[in-house]
Structure 1
């Protein structure tokens, strides 16, 4: 053996994750993948550049359509705009925290995530795997477009909430009262924005929901039992909220400012209650029978209480 081979550095790099831990496998269920395809959600490795491009495109599409949503009041429009502002602010903060280094590689625009007016994602070169003909009809009307656009907005706001939740939970665990209060106040604003986004997504005539939107969430266009329970961001948010509540409850008595923490926690609970009430109203209007697609699918096989409606 050549003596130099024992001391010469290896030319093969060791691949180590940023968090210094073995990566976990996160297999996506067929139902979850189908949910993402339906709403034109593209899952990618963490990429701040792609996220930023997508958020800017979503913001442009929502702002162009927001004035045409007749049932939204000024307060709900303001909630959505504030939510978009908070998302932009959190994204900018993430850029500012980025470790200095070479400029990011060029990424093509995030095409196809938001179907244009009257066009399906497949018509616009959608990258999410939705082929032409996956949705009923060659043209998609404004109601179906708003339904999907509003859900994309909902997902982006939830992703922002999950980011703020991580920071707020850390503040609670470290007994950082002022940061905890600030985090809960931001979460309250984002919760109200998410509630308004749900209202915006469903701001369509009831007949359009029954005749155009609901059929698009049934076979043969998607599998049976399509439901909002497959929303990954919402699942992460509910887990994070439970952890935050426990952390706030377990705060040492000397953690202050006590009154501000209590007020922020109560305000956040109130925002969550408004979200639940808003969802119930949407379900009652869009699905008067109270039978969701998932509940209908599982009626014969599961006695469990299932979601009231489809989203």
Structure 2
């Protein structure tokens, strides 16, 4: 039995990025088992495969819908193509991680919760790399490549939503009794929130830029109809993702009392300005304090918007 089965903590996965000002970004990453490579080093193949293998080994116990399972498999394939270099030994799986289904009680819930979030972050990182390609394709008028890239982004949106559904595939009581206590003092600082998810923040910024490019492109050159159709399919995936995240939030915290807003409202635990940005978390949409779900909710549930503004 490895550390994952005894503590509910999966093996760490390394993603590019730097901590934001204040301690919460680092604390968020540490809670989910995410390390940061300041030099931009891509994730190690063995780390990526360890997360994926553990999730795949647990899918039957998670009782996901067939559509979600298919979306996860497509997302894993896209992530592997992007993140695993040639000759990385993909055909030789690493030592199998202990699946979440082999543990019990709090450890099982925590392990599935964190594994699902790690897979969610792998989807986000893949989306950010794909968005970079799309942003280069628009001004270059490489329409065939752009159409393919927009379709990949649509599939990754659905995969990210499926990863969150997997992460939250346990009875609502499991969150209140086993997850939420691990995100509060004394385990973590007050105001722990998905707003400190830097991969998600970058995705929202890049998606907003892509929307702007696609909206203004017809003023500079003719845009093929097939690209317009692909863009609309992507926006539809955004809306589906938002709706699913909100359903997860409301399922676990029906009253909508996020940890961040509880902290902001408490006269006993004021949040310092360098650690909490209330402008990016709207109580009308943030209906849970799940790390990635609340982070997605505060940005319109992965919907693109101008950074620093409230979602529409």
Same fold (TM over 0.5): yes
Which residue pairs with 1:286 in the alignment?
A: 252
- CA–CA distance in structure 2, aligned partners of residues 200 and 25 of structure 1: 27
Change (3 A) 1:40 1:69: same
Change (3 A) 1:75 1:91: same
Q: CA deviation at 1:29?
A: 3.0
Decide whether the 8 Å contact of 1:119 with 1:140 is kept in 2. Answer: no
Residues 40-66 of structure 1: CA distance to partner in whole angstroms, max 9, x if unpaired? Answer: 111123334x53221111111111011
Give the number of equivalent residue pairs: 255
CA RMSD of aligned residues (A): 2.9
Which residue pairs with 1:131 in the alignment?
A: none
Which residue pairs with 2:261 in the alignment?
A: 295
Segments of structure 2 that go 5 or more residues without pairing to the other structure are: 1-16, 89-93, 272-277, 291-312
Segments of structure 1 that go 5 or more residues without pairing to the other structure are: 1-23, 97-102, 105-109, 121-138
Match of 2:165 among 193, 199, 202: 199
Decide whether the 8 Å contact of 2:100 with 2:109 is kept in 1. Answer: no
Q: Which has the larger radius of gyration?
A: 1
Which residue pairs with 1:91 in the alignment?
A: 83
Does the alignment pair 1:69 with 2:62? yes
Q: Give the helix-richer structure, 1 or 2.
A: 2
Change (3 A) 1:85 1:256: farther
Secondary structure, counterpart of 2:257 in structure 1: coil
Q: CA deviation at 1:119?
A: 10
- CA–CA distance in structure 2, aligned partners of residues 53 and 178 of structure 1: 33
TM-score, L = length of structure 2 = 0.74
Change (3 A) 1:118 1:238: same
Secondary structure, counterpart of 1:42 in structure 2: strand
- CA–CA distance in structure 2, aligned partners of residues 30 and 237 of structure 1: 21
Residues 97-140 of structure 1: CA distance to partner in whole angstroms, max 9, x if unpaired? Answer: xxxxxx99xxxxx99xx8864999xxxxxxxxxxxxxxxxxx84
TM-score, L = length of structure 1 = 0.75
- CA–CA distance in structure 2, aligned partners of residues 27 and 288 of structure 1: 30
Write out the 4+ residue segments of structure 1 that deviate beyond 6 Å after TM superposition.
none
Q: CA deviation at 1:91?
A: 2.5
- CA–CA distance in structure 1, aligned partners of residues 19 and 62 of structure 2: 37
Taking the TM superposition and a 5 Å limit, the aligned residue runs for 1:257-272 are: 258-272=224-238
Which residue pairs with 2:130 in the alignment?
A: 164
Change (3 A) 1:173 1:26: farther
